[in-house]
Homo-oligomer: A and B are copies of this chain.
């Protein structure tokens, strides 16, 4: 339904506060990846990236994966997230979220995402999110 250019334009128009944080890298039918280059506002003492930043990246990656399948008219709302913080990301490296949809139902969508710190082989975080899809998508 939406490709990389369409999703990027949608993000800029609908979420101007945060759109510049995110760069959509890859949009496949089975997988979508988004990159965030940490700025000062994303950092925490000890040279790491804040939890809310990782949460926000996880959220946007799955949200975009849903939109890539159902189009820009949907007002999907996050209803649940479970997130595991497994390793400390580097403050000066890009974060890359690789999201995939596990379910795209009539009222609920579920996706999970793995977040990597560029150059580290193991993920720094993983998350699963559920979205409620409103009945009217027009």
Contact = CB atoms under 8 A, between A and B. Distances in A.
Contact of A110 (B40, B84, B110): B84
A42 to B, nearest CB: 9
Contacts of A117: none
A86 B79 CA distance: 6
Total copies of the chain: 4
A9 to B, nearest CB: 15
Interface residues of A, number: 39
Given A15-B45, A41-B17, A56-B51, A82 B85 contact: no
A85 B132 CA distance: 10
A132 B108 CA distance: 9
Interface of A: 14-15, 17-18, 40-41, 43-45, 50-53, 55-56, 59, 77-87, 102-103, 107-108, 110, 112, 122-123, 126, 128, 130, 132
